[in-house]
Structures are given as C-alpha cells and as structure tokens.
A and B are shown apart, each in its own frame.
Chain A
Amino acid sequence: MSQQKTIFEKIWDNHVVKRADGYPDAVFIDRHFIHEVTSPQAFDGLRKRGIGVFNTKRTTATADHNVPTKDQHLPIKEALSRHQVETLRKNCAEFGVELYDLGHPFQGIVHIIGPELGLTLPGMTIVCGDSHTSTHGAFGNVAFGIGTSEVEQVLATQCILQYKPKTMKIEINGKLGKGVVSKDIILYIISKISASGATGYFVEYAGDAIRSLSMEARMTICNMSIEMGARGGLIAPDETTFNYIKGRKFAPQGEAFDKAVEEWKKLKTDEGAKYDTVLTFDAADIAPMITYGTNPGMGMKVTDRIPTANELKELNEQVSFKKSLDYMGLEQGSQLLGKAIDYVFIGSCTNARIEDLREVAAMVKGKKKAAGVEVWVVPGSKQVQEQAKKEGLDKIFEAAGFELREPGCSACLGMNEDKIPAGKYCISTSNRNFEGRQGPKSRTFLASPLSAAAAAITGKVTDVREF
C-alpha cells in the first residue's frame, strides 16, 4: 500500500541517493547557485582535495552581494570587494562553472535570476550558500540555504548530507483586503509565530489566498520562510506556475515542456497526508504590515501601536525587547504611523522583481518624493532593469526623484557602499531588520513595496489604504 505523502516528502524521497542507518540522507541536488561571498573557501577546499566540480551543468554563478549599484562597467572601487568578485571569476574559469558576471545580461541577485531564467523548476532540489534560497520554493521545489562547507560538499559530490526536516502547513484562506500584498502576508505570519516559530520545519504554504497570488508574489512569501526559522518554504505548482515558466531561457521547450508539465502536475500533497504542524490564518485579518524591532518577528499592522514590555508573553524576552527598542530609538506603546523616515530602499530578493517595480511606479506616477528623503530603487537583475526601462518606469522614478540603480543586493545587507547612515530610519522592502543590517547603527522598518512607495512620497510611515 502506498503511503500518503506531502509534496515536500515526495520531492525529498525522490532525491535520496543513499539512506543508511546512522547517517543523514545523502540528497542529490539538481541545481546549485553560487555567489562571491560564500564560495571562495569552498573552491579552496576542492583545490586542497585535488578534485573538480561534480557536474558543472548543474551549477550557476553570479556576482550580487558585493557589487556596486552604480557604474558597474567600471572596475569595483573597494579593494576587498573587487578581490572577492575577481576570485569568483577565477574560480569559475578554473572549474568550468557558468558565471553571470557584472555587465552580463543575466546578472542579478541569485534568487531573482534562477526563476527568471527558467533554471528554477518544480520538483527540483535547489541549494545555494544563502539563506534566502527558500525563494525558489514558490515553484514547488525543495530549496534551502547552506553554509560554505556544504557548498563545498555539493560542488564536490552534487549531494548534501541532511536530516529530513519536519513538515508544517500554513494555510491562508479568504480574500486579501485593500492595500494588502504578499509581503504583508508573510510579515503577518512571522509576527504571529515569531522569528524562530518554524525552526526545524519545512513549510508548505496553501489555501486560496496563496493560490490567488502571482508567481512573483509567491516568491516574496517563500523568500521570507527563513525569517521564521524554517529550513525552506514551498507552494505546490499550478497553472500560474506553468505559465510563468513557459518559454523561459533554460526551461524545457515545446514537447519537452508539455511532458514536464504532466509530471509537475503530480507534485501535490496527497489527500490525508500528515504534517507535523498545521497553522491556519484568515486573509481578512491581514493588514498592511510594518516591523518596529530588530528581528522580522517584531512586526505589527501599520495602524497598531508597539507593544509594551509588560504585554510580552515571556518574561525572558523583556531584556531583548528593550534592547531592541533602544536600538530603534522607539518608545514602547507608541505608534509608528506618521513617524518621519530618512531613506526608502526598494530592492532585494524579496521585492525587486518587475511586478514590484511596476506597483511602485503606478503609485508614485506624477508625484514627487518628500523633501529630505532619499529613495533608492535597486532592480533585482539586469533583466528587471532592462524591462523597467522598456516600460518607461525609469522615467516615472526619475520624475518622482527616485534613483534607479543597477542590480545587486545593495542596501539589503550593506556590503557594498549602499549603506544607511547611523541613526537614520529606512523603510525597506528587504527581509531583515537586524541591528546594523543596512549599515552600522542603521534602523530598518520592513514593509511592502506599496508601503515603501507611499512613505517615499509622504516622508513618513503611511497607511497605504489612506494614501
């Protein structure tokens, strides 16, 4: 008798090359993405062992974390960043790995280019030395972030040794309200279950509110799975998925595509399959969200007030909570609505795809940014940048006083020169509000592209529904 399985278990079990007593599963990896920051030591490891890359066809590299977002055609100014990107070039050339380098039409943030090139497909196992690899799960695959030792493992053997995580289903049912987008859904979920609420689990998102989303919106949700501690997050593929993939550069074409779709349709959780945990939320409860603290779990509806230490469930948390608000320069129990901001960052693998840029452009068309606010729009990839120009979005941004930059991770992690200065407030479409994430002593409010765009125009934290 065949046992009912979740989609996660189907994909995982399908990729186990060896399951031996006393060992974690040896799991085959279909697609391996690499970038300049977490790969150099892994290539060194290969060199020390005197071995090559197991299958270069399954490996794709790009430069994203450490690249400037201005004048990418010039040599990188900062010596260490330049060295890191040059090391990636050298390693890719030596080991025969395809690299989408600065200036290449396919260059971009690793989690943006995989899907847009059709390298990310349903049913696959995908890893990258980057925690937001969970993004790819939106296509119904098992995708997760790994450390550099594991990057070396995958380069060397195309496999990874892993214990199978537990499974969690998060269901969102009902209709989303006005001004509520996928970023709000995921910020809402994390605020409910905390920054560690899904640690040890692989999440499947389901429910009609999820089904109604575009692929790009689904990616935003899966992207932030790691922010609640999950190993990854996926959404079973459907017609929306297949339509998105059709015709993409490296996706199966013609007859091969039709055959693939038949296989992909089988990728869903069997009726009666068991999850270790199931959570259900009502879409109607979700409002435009914003974070006030220094982890993504510290979020609230934009109209709410920040909790007070006394309202916390656990006494233990009070010290960290106060430390966090001190860092943010915010008062317990106060409201964020109307709070003046200094910077707006529209970018990152969470929200720098073409739909995000379109939404922002539609909102700010014919308007001007507030005086004293600096606005950076950093496209997720070269293709997004080109498309934005083709559609004339660059003109709209320019007229609004927004700066459209060149693609990269940019102020999401402030590894290049795009840093938010100490003490300044930035409303950001990225995924992490950790202390110093956007630059030493910078202060981050995470929100949707809509909320960020509205704040850029008003100069303060704004409820998009009133905009």
Chain B
Amino acid sequence: MLISPAVPIAVENIDTDQIIPARFLKATTREGFGDNLFRDWRYDGNNNPIADFPLNNPAYSGKILVAGKNFGCGSSREHAAWAIYDYGFRVVVSSFFADIFKNNALNNAVLPVVVSDQFLNELLETIQRDPKTEVTVDLENQFISFNGKKESFQINAYKKTCLMNGYDDIDYLLSLNTEIKAYDTAHA
C-alpha cells in the first residue's frame, strides 16, 4: 500500500514524446531518464525551469502522478516508463491509458491506476487546492482513496501477482522453452 501526496498534470493526451523527448533517448542503459522527464514542459529553451509546471512547483511532491485522459499515447518507447520510475513515481492515475504505455509501466514497477472521469476530476481539483492531500493506493485490495472518497480499480490478476512479487514475464516464458521450441520447429 502506498500513501503519498500526488503531483497533478491536468492535461489530456500526454504523449510519450512529452514524457521523454526523442533527443533524450540516446542512452543505452535504463537509468538517468528522470532528469529529462517532461523536459520541454519543465524547462524553457535556455534550460531555466518553467515556474508554473507542477514538477517545478515546490508545493507538489510524492510518488503519485495524476494526469488527464489518454496518458502515454504515441511512441512505444519504454524510456517513458523508465523516466517516470527514475524520477520517483510509482503510480500514475488517469481515466485512460494507451495500451503500450500501460504494458511498459507494469513491466517497470509503475502501477497505472484507471479511475472514472469524475473521480479523476475531483482528485485533480483537490490536489490543486491542497497539495498536501494524501492519496492512498492499495494494490492488494485494488482501491484508491483520498479525503474519504474511494474508488476501486481493475488490474489483471497475473500482472498483480508479478508486481507484488517482483516476477517478470521472461521467467514464465523461459519455463515454456520446450513448447516454444516445438512450435518453432513445426513452423520453420
């Protein structure tokens, strides 16, 4: 269970080019992308922080990012999930996620929490009014709550087990080696 204040970015259709612009994809490791998370919204052309962007607002903090509908659309770059993780977020809350981003997040210990539009709007407004608001995300019991408001969320049972136990898909697939080899040979 995670209890933390949250950072609101009340913009819809945040694509992965905004989360991590292409010119920062040149690294060959998974670390360090957090510095360039939302680079062009965070810094101006002279690398000065843009004051009104939430990540630059000292009032906001925490491990939960709350964003508008259709979060993570666009490019399949997993660097987006790495950047979010590297920056310190462990949960992203939105009313809708793009498919590839959702998979990438789950593969990198970032939990995408889908809530209703109404819950999302209330959450965004509440944090904007009071940045200290504590948000609770309970993976095991699949609910999110703040100020006495509560909503349950869906997560696939397999992915939930992986997240809670730190398994990954490759471990499972490697266990199918014999079946896969047989398929490969039969379809060569």
Contacts and interface: CB of A to CB of B under 8 A. Distances in A.
Interface of A: 17-18, 22-24, 26, 28, 30, 37-38, 40-41, 44-45, 49, 51, 54-55, 65-66, 80-81, 83-84, 87, 129-131, 145-150, 152-153, 156-161, 163, 165, 195-196, 199-200, 226, 229, 231, 295, 297, 316-317, 319-320, 323, 413-415, 422, 432, 434-437, 440-441
Given A146-B100, A149-B108, A158 B180 contact: yes
Contacts of B169: 149-150, 153, 160-161
Contact of B68 (A38, A80, A320): A320
Contact of A40 (B28, B68, B75, B172): B28
B77 A38 contact: yes
B13 interface: yes
Interface residues of B, number: 55
B115 interface: no
Given A22-B157, A41-B30, 20 more contacts: A18-B176, A37-B25, A38-B76, A38-B77, A40-B29, A130-B75, A147-B76, A147-B77, A150-B103, A157-B180, A199-B96, A297-B13, A316-B12, A316-B69, A317-B12, A320-B12, A415-B26, A432-B15, A432-B74, A435-B17
Nearest to B13: A295
B48 interface: no
A37 B30 CA distance: 12
A129 B76 contact: yes
Contacts of B75: 130-131, 413, 432
A143 to B, nearest CB: 12
A interface: dominant SS: loop
Given A17-B176, A147-B100, A152-B170, A131 B13 contact: no
Nearest to B97: A199
A49 B169 CA distance: 13
B107 interface: yes
Contacts of A163: 156
A21 B179 CA distance: 17
Interface string B24-53: 011111100000000010000100000000
B124 to A, nearest CB: 10
B23 A414 contact: yes
A292 B68 CA distance: 21
A387 B104 CA distance: 39
12 contacts: A17-B180, A41-B28, A83-B26, A147-B76, A157-B170, A159-B176, A160-B169, A200-B99, A297-B13, A320-B13, A415-B22, A432-B17
Contacts of A37: 25-26, 77
Contact of A156 (B68, B69, B98, B173): B173
B169 to A, nearest CB: 4
Given A434-B17, A437-B17, A149 B168 contact: yes
A65 to B, nearest CB: 8
Contact of A147 (B27, B28, B40, B104): B104
Interface string B76-117: 111101000000000000001011100110011000000001
Nearest to A151: B78
Contacts of A157: 170, 173-174, 176-177, 180
A196 B70 contact: yes
Contacts of A23: 158, 172
B81 A320 contact: no
B11 A87 contact: no
B140 interface: no
Contacts of A41: 28-30, 78
A158 B107 CA distance: 18
Nearest to B40: A436
A439 to B, nearest CB: 9
A87 B28 contact: yes
A153 B103 CA distance: 13
B73 A195 contact: yes
